[in-house]
Amino acid sequence: MPLNELLQRLVSLTPGQKSFLSVYLDLRPNRIGKKLYPVFLKTRLREISSLLPARAAEQSLCNQDIKRIQKYLETELDPAWKGIAIFACAADDLFLPIPMPLFPENDVTLSSIPQLFSLVRHKALYQTHAVVEANSRQARLFLIRLGTLSKQINLSWENKHSTRFGRMGWSLPRFQRHLQEHRKQRGKEIVENVKKLILREKPEYLFLAAEEEMEAELKKQLPASLIKKMVPLSVLDLHAPDHKLLSTAAEVLRAISKEKAETFSKYILEEAEPLGRATSGTEATLSALQNHQIERMVFDARFKATGWGCPGCNSLGIGGVPRSCPYCQATIFPSNLREKILSKAQSQGVDLFFTENFSPLLKAGGVAALLKYKTLKKTTGHYIARREKGYPM
């Protein structure tokens, strides 16, 4: 299932008097091969369980989630995964483990909504993509989905001719035609397998590492739809192990995502002038989000915000916690606005981008958004709009 579908499932869960366990674990062993996350996880889960009322229904449900998480890690965890995110809520019969393409910071949180920021900030690496390595003797084809290897095909050929064409009594032009015909046939076999392996998966990118002659042949035979998605992959050694080849592709994918996010961030910050079609900073962006005005949003990985949230009308606010919700008078609670803003944006179908320590965006507050239409006047935000329409959906 694509990451966006998994995220929509998580943000569409009905809020209420229930708690979600959000677990992020770095699965790397230390220098002597020992996993470090079990000790952290055991300690943190014990702390969380001790904070719940004894013999309460909430503690019982939480204990069910804890046992399920521990069992999964002991018996079903894929040892090839670098990291994992697990979301569990026994009240909703939810248990969702998701592999992570990069090593996350160990974290376990019990909260009213799934904590998604650490997962979604790497969403670009979850794009379906293919990696092809090809030379005159072999080819390797990989399909990557959800940040992990999904399918692989290996091809190899035996050279039956001698590179010393004189020994075979051939002229140089004849030998060159012979080699060209071999490349053409091998290119055809590669392309046929590429179509079989990845074409129906609609990959976002096709990373290609190939000898110059083989690359030219593949470009002649590949469908135009894949040529548009092709990204050359500079690999010093075409015979590098699979994991190094895939790591190189992941690094390029990350660089592409970073460049796109930074370019988009610059554009938004230019637009976020008076009467522009964008906002920057937590307060203005939150206001636009609650009025369903946002088309695209960019966060920096270091963005943080605190404030309050109302479980009655689902409104959010920054700063100190008022005595009651200004819209429905319900009791409100302190809130991690970073997670709330992300979840609300995801539920509204807003396109999300993420920068990494990008100073122009950080100076603007760490978050900015492109609006669906240009603002006509500056207001104090969503408060005015809500007084006219009632509290938000």
What pLDDT, on the 0 to 100 scale, is given for residue 260?
95
| CATH code for residues 261-393 | 3.30.1330.30
Question: Phi/psi at 86 (nearest 5 deg)?
Answer: -125, 130
Q: Enumerate the domain spans of the chain.
A: 1-120, 127-240, 261-393
Tell the burial category of 102 from Cβ atoms under 10 Å away from its Cβ (0-12, 13-18, 19+): middle
Rounded to whole angstroms, the Cα distance separating 353 from 20 reads 25
Residue 198 has pLDDT above 70, yes or no: yes
Q: Are 227 and 221 in contact (CB under 8 A)?
A: no
Q: Which two tokens stand for residue 43?
A: 């300690």
What pLDDT, on the 0 to 100 scale, is given for residue 77?
92
Question: Phi/psi at 4 (nearest 5 deg)?
Answer: -60, -40
Confidence of residue 165 (pLDDT cuts 50, 70, 90): very low
Q: Are 362 and 300 in contact (CB under 8 A)?
A: yes
Question: Is the pLDDT higher at 148 or at 199?
Answer: 148
pLDDT digits (tens, 9 = 90+) for 15-72: 666 789 999 999 998 888 888 899 999 999 999 988 888 777 888 899 999 999 999 9
In CATH terms, the superfamily for domain 1-120 is: eRF1 domain 1 (3.30.960.10)
Kindly state the average pLDDT of the residues 183-198.
89
The mean-pLDDT minimum among 101-105, 171-175, 236-240 falls in 171-175
Question: Which contiguous run of DSSP H or E holds residue 267?
Answer: helix 242-271
In CATH terms, the superfamily for domain 127-240 is: eRF1 domain 2 (3.30.420.60)
What pLDDT, on the 0 to 100 scale, is given for residue 5?
86
What pLDDT, on the 0 to 100 scale, is given for residue 158?
76
Kindly state the average pLDDT of the residues 387-393.
43
| Mean pLDDT estimate for the chain | 86
Confidence of residue 393 (pLDDT cuts 50, 70, 90): very low
Share of the chain above pLDDT 70, in %: 88
Confidence of residue 392 (pLDDT cuts 50, 70, 90): very low
Question: Is the pLDDT higher at 262 or at 311?
Answer: 262
Give the residue from 140, 147, 142 showing the smallest Cα distance to 123: 147
Residue 316 has pLDDT above 50, yes or no: yes
Question: Is the pLDDT higher at 38 or at 237?
Answer: 38
What pLDDT, on the 0 to 100 scale, is given for residue 14?
65
